[in-house]
Amino acid sequence: MEMRLKGKTAVVTGAGGRIGIAICSRLAAEGAAVVCADLTRENAEKAAETIRSAGGCALPCRVDVTRSDEVRLMAETALGNFGSVEILVNNAGGSAGLFRRLSRFENTTEEIWRRVIDLNLNGTLSCIHALLGQMIEHQYGKIINMSSVAAEKGILDRVDYSAAKGGILSLTRALALEVGQYNINVNCISPGMIAGAAAIPHQGTWLGRSGEPREVAALVAFLASDDSGFITGDNHTIDGGRVLGVRFHPRKEK
């Protein structure tokens, strides 16, 4: 594999989840040292161990991204160990899987929507805030935020999640305006349905399948590398064509 990220340090939040672990592995395979940050020590260790067993460099870090004091500590740990952080992947997030619920907005509670906004939107803001200063100082940075097709299209019974991911899309664009002058790229990825390790048949996409975490990870690696140096403030949808609209015809015509 091409070592596009050699000499770079990446912080990846939500490192031990389905997509997070694939991102960590891919960034490390391309030469980055990866701080695997996750809410549970177990998940952080799992991501770091996956990297190390493949010969890469990883540091597990437990963090709750909704706690700015813990996020600051995560940044200090990363900087203390590696000197600088060039790549920040704000991947921690979620909704139904995490909170075990899908519900009409009228039935949701303020406590739940605050938690969803805190995890997805405020967590992203907090991590950026903790690491942006040193990126500006070094005149280099790649910030990649995980949004969702929910931001553009909305998802039924996930008003809070859709709003949080929409906020991530908007913050990506606004921040890109502010920090482009410091050679910092800010981009956003909007996945559609990404299954476990392997794709599963899915009629909601034009490819007839769900996405795989490694496919999202490949896009992250591209945005983290200098191959995407002229791309900023952009939303990168990765959804098998789902946002193009509903399928009305059977896929096989002959």
Ligand X SMILES: NC(=O)c1ccc[n+]([C@@H]2O[C@H](COP(=O)([O-])OP(=O)(O)OC[C@H]3O[C@@H](n4cnc5c(N)ncnc54)[C@H](O)[C@@H]3O)[C@@H](O)[C@H]2O)c1
148 sits near ligand X (criterion: CB under 6 A): yes
- 160, 150, 156, 157: which is closest to 188 by C-alpha? 150
* Strand partners for 186: 143
Among 25, 43, 126, 225, binds ligand X (CB under 6 A): 43
Interface with ligand X, residue 18, by CB under 6 A: yes
Please state, in angstroms and rounded to a whole number, the distance separating the CA atoms of residues 113 and 221.
31
Q: Are 238 and 211 in contact (CB under 8 A)?
A: yes
**Which residue from 38, 45, 86, 212 is in contact with ligand X, where contact means CB under 6 A?**
38
**Stretch of 51-59, 85-93, 107-115, 244-252 lying at the interface with ligand X (CB under 6 A):** 85-93
Which stretch in 37-45, 76-84, 102-110, 128-136 sits in contact with ligand X by CB under 6 A?
Answer: 37-45
Answer yes or no: 161 catalytic. yes
The helix/strand/coil state of 31 is: coil
Nearer to ligand X, 138 or 202 (CB): 202
Nearer to ligand X, 177 or 243 (CB): 243
CA 171, CA 153: separation in Å to the nearest integer? 17
Instruction: Give residue 193's identity as a one-letter amino acid code.
Output: M
Question: Of 138 and 146, which CB lies nearer to ligand X in the complex structure?
Answer: 146
Which of 89, 161, 169, 179 is catalytic? The answer is: 161
* 220: Cβ contacts below 8 Å, ≥ 6 apart: 23, 26, 27, 89, 144, 189
Residue choice 27, 29, 36, 63 for contact with ligand X (CB under 6 A): 63
By CB under 6 A, name the one of 27, 35, 58, 65 that touches ligand X: 65
DSSP, residue by residue, 55-115: T-EEEEEE--TT-HHHHHHHHHHHHHHHS---EEEE----SHHHHT----GGG--HHHHHH
Q: Binder to ligand X among 33, 87, 88, 119 (CB under 6 A)? A: 119
Residues annotated as catalytic are: 161
What is the binding site for ligand X (CB under 6 A)?
13-14, 16-20, 38-40, 43, 63-66, 91-94, 97-98, 119, 123, 146, 148, 191, 193-194
